[in-house]
Structure 1
Amino acid sequence: MRILHLTDTHLFADPAARHYDRIDTAAALERVLERLADIAADRPVDLVLHTGDASEDASEDSYRRLHAMLDPVAAALGAELLVVMGNHDSSAAYATVAGPGDHGGPWQDRARMLANAWRAVVLDSSVPGAGYGRLDAAQLAWLREVLAEPAEHGTVLAIHHPPLTAATPLLRALDLQDRDALADAIVGTDVRLICSGHYHHPMTGALAGVPVHVAPGVTNVMDPLCGGGREQARALSGASVIDLSDTGDDADASAVPVITTAVWPNAGDVLGDGEVPVYDFSPQQVAAIIAASVPDGAV
């Protein structure tokens, strides 16, 4: 099983719009896809997975732009395409482009059996008006029902907000709530990998013994080690390719995924200067962003 893992493209409906008044996000994604054109040369790609914040303005047209860019790529690779909802996304707007999710409610949750006998499940952790993530009890009940019947080779689970503890104060305020509930839902199941975005930088960890991989952002890459209570991001773009071994007599079901991550200069950067941060938030600005992103003291 090979996965092309993309995340955090932050596309706009307006082609002239720029992220932080600087990044042409469509150009950034286009160049990343060009760089990855040969990833199926040595092994077929089975899944193109976008783990959220597909849009910046949560518009229907931004999702049409996303699919206009990703659908041909997935088709050329012979791969399934799945898109997860993030905190900048609108599940309702995306539903007008991609259709409803697989169960009741507003969520864009989907389970897909792939042609190679793997299963992919995406969970919508978006909370309208908030930056943090949350899973409803109905979503977790649906997940348990899906996972009650194992797939032949296993399941890859995707959720925008990583079920980890973030590296910085801002990201910790915007983490997934009730990670323990998700852990309870997957323990003892065939879930072999969890893929996430949201942090805009690569990170690895585990939930209930299952590896978790966070891919770097396409629109920028955040520096989790800048220190001093600041938050910084650079004009970079990244992606990951993940290889999982099949289960069976000649494969080890517990084998650790092989994850290859690359980061490149951002082709959508109008400044063209990777040394100038895309943003550089002071501790005071971080506190203000947290207050605006976490309404009513919800976290």
Structure 2
Amino acid sequence: MRILHLTDTHLYGDPFARHYDRIDTAAALRGLLARLEGLAGIDAVVHTGDASEDGTAESYRLLHEILDPFAAALDAPLAIVMGNHDVSAVYGEAVAPGERTAPSQDRVVALAGGARVVVLDSSVPGAGYGHLDPEQLDWTGARSPRRARARRDRARDPPPAARRGDPSLRGLDLDGLDELAAVLDGSDVRIVLSGHYHHEMTGEIAGIPVHVAPGITNVVDPVGAGADEQSRALSGVSLVELGEGAPRVVSSVLPNAGDTLADAERPVYRFTPEQVAQILEAAGR
């Protein structure tokens, strides 16, 4: 089984809006998908959060205008996850009427061979961190049978048990990890997919691998920025393969097709520790 893992498109309803006054996010997504021409044998396309930057119905319609035909050409189901910049209720009203939108956007996407992608919504309105309430944890547990043959993949934002190297940003992580681990422990879940951090990262929860894909609108440099947080005009994508043994994941990071400055050496942003502290004050726990 092969899953194409996309994340963090940060689309706008306003076609003239630019992320950090620089990145045309729709062009970034279209450019990345164009570079994937010729890709085949994909069983699912999963987008793990921050589909929208402004949470507007127009941004979600644009997302599906771009991704629906792409997934259809691959003959692959499409799963969309809500992130901290998204508005679940608006997405449900604009794109997926009749699906559950409160308190969270929960969906199960059926794949071939009995496998499923289970979509979890950990977004907290107005916050940058994630939370799974008891109701959603119970719902998750009911869809995570023990010793079952079906292979399931969980998709969510922010990620569990894959923490940023910079401890100052832990306030933007997911809370309730112990409760989620208890739900997943001994289940048939094969891998947890997530976005939120804009750079590739791995971890595990309850012995289950966790993969965070690099962002499409920009890619954060988690190593070379020192005490700062720095993002580059790049776009990333991951390919997840599930079969016998451990999941296999490979990622590509490519020039950002939506960079209006066309200057890969100039960071999209560079936040000092003081600026990061202000972000945490505004959006962290």
Whether the TM-score (by the shorter chain) exceeds 0.5 is yes
Q: How many angstroms does 1:105 deviate by?
A: 2.9
Q: How many angstroms does 1:104 deviate by?
A: 7.5
Q: How many angstroms does 1:98 deviate by?
A: 3.1
Q: How many angstroms does 1:169 deviate by?
A: 3.6
Q: Which residue of 2 aligns with 1:98?
A: 95
Whole-Å Cα distance in 2 between the matches of residues 170 and 132 of structure 1? 13
Matches within 5 A, 1:240-255: 240-245=238-243, 252=244, 255=245
Paired residue secondary structure (2:253): strand
Whole-Å Cα distance in 2 between the matches of residues 36 and 134 of structure 1? 33
Q: Which residue of 2 aligns with 1:293?
A: 283
Paired residue secondary structure (1:217): coil
Residue 178 (1) aligns with residue 176 (2): yes
Paired residue secondary structure (2:180): helix
Q: How many angstroms does 1:38 deviate by?
A: 1.6
Q: Mean Cα displacement is larger for which, 169-178 or 1-10?
A: 169-178
Q: How many angstroms does 1:101 deviate by?
A: 7.7
Residue 82 (1) aligns with residue 91 (2): no
Whole-Å Cα distance in 1 between the matches of residues 242 and 37 of structure 2? 20
Whole-Å Cα distance in 2 between the matches of residues 187 and 276 of structure 1? 44
* One-letter amino acid of the counterpart of residue 155, structure 1: R
Q: How many angstroms does 1:149 deviate by?
A: 6.9
Q: Which residue of 2 aligns with 1:133?
A: 130
Whole-Å Cα distance in 1 between the matches of residues 75 and 146 of structure 2? 26
* One-letter amino acid of the counterpart of residue 72, structure 1: P
Residue 5 (1) aligns with residue 8 (2): no
Quickly say closer, same or farther: Cα 1:72–1:151, change in 2 above 3 A: farther
Matches within 5 A, 1:1-299: 1-40=1-40, 44-99=41-96, 105-148=102-145, 152-164=149-161, 165-245=163-243, 252=244, 255-294=245-284, 299=285
* One-letter amino acid of the counterpart of residue 195, structure 1: L
User: Aligned pair count?
Assistant: 284
Paired residue secondary structure (2:59): helix
Q: Which residue of 2 aligns with 1:249?
A: none
Q: Return the TM-score normalized by structure 1.
A: 0.91
Q: How many angstroms does 1:102 deviate by?
A: 6.0
Q: How many angstroms does 1:33 deviate by?
A: 0.5
* One-letter amino acid of the counterpart of residue 187, structure 1: D
Whole-Å Cα distance in 1 between the matches of residues 21 and 65 of structure 2? 24
Q: Return the TM-score normalized by structure 2.
A: 0.96
**Which runs of no fewer than 5 residues in structure 2 stay unpaired?**
none
Cα pair 1:158 1:194 within 8 Å, conserved: yes
Q: How many angstroms does 1:170 deviate by?
A: 4.8
Quickly say closer, same or farther: Cα 1:101–1:155, change in 2 above 3 A: farther
Whole-Å Cα distance in 2 between the matches of residues 235 and 264 of structure 1? 9
Q: How many angstroms does 1:180 deviate by?
A: 1.1
Identity %, equivalent residues: 56
Paired residue secondary structure (2:209): strand
Cα pair 2:128 2:172 within 8 Å, conserved: yes
**Which runs of no fewer than 5 residues in structure 1 stay unpaired?**
246-251
Cα pair 1:160 1:197 within 8 Å, conserved: yes
Whole-Å Cα distance in 2 between the matches of residues 161 and 101 of structure 1? 25
Cα pair 1:11 1:57 within 8 Å, conserved: yes
* One-letter amino acid of the counterpart of residue 57, structure 2: E
Paired residue secondary structure (1:143): helix
Whole-Å Cα distance in 2 between the matches of residues 76 and 34 of structure 1? 12
For the aligned residue pairs, the C-alpha RMSD in angstroms reads 1.5
Q: How many angstroms does 1:148 deviate by?
A: 2.8
Cα pair 2:189 2:208 within 8 Å, conserved: yes
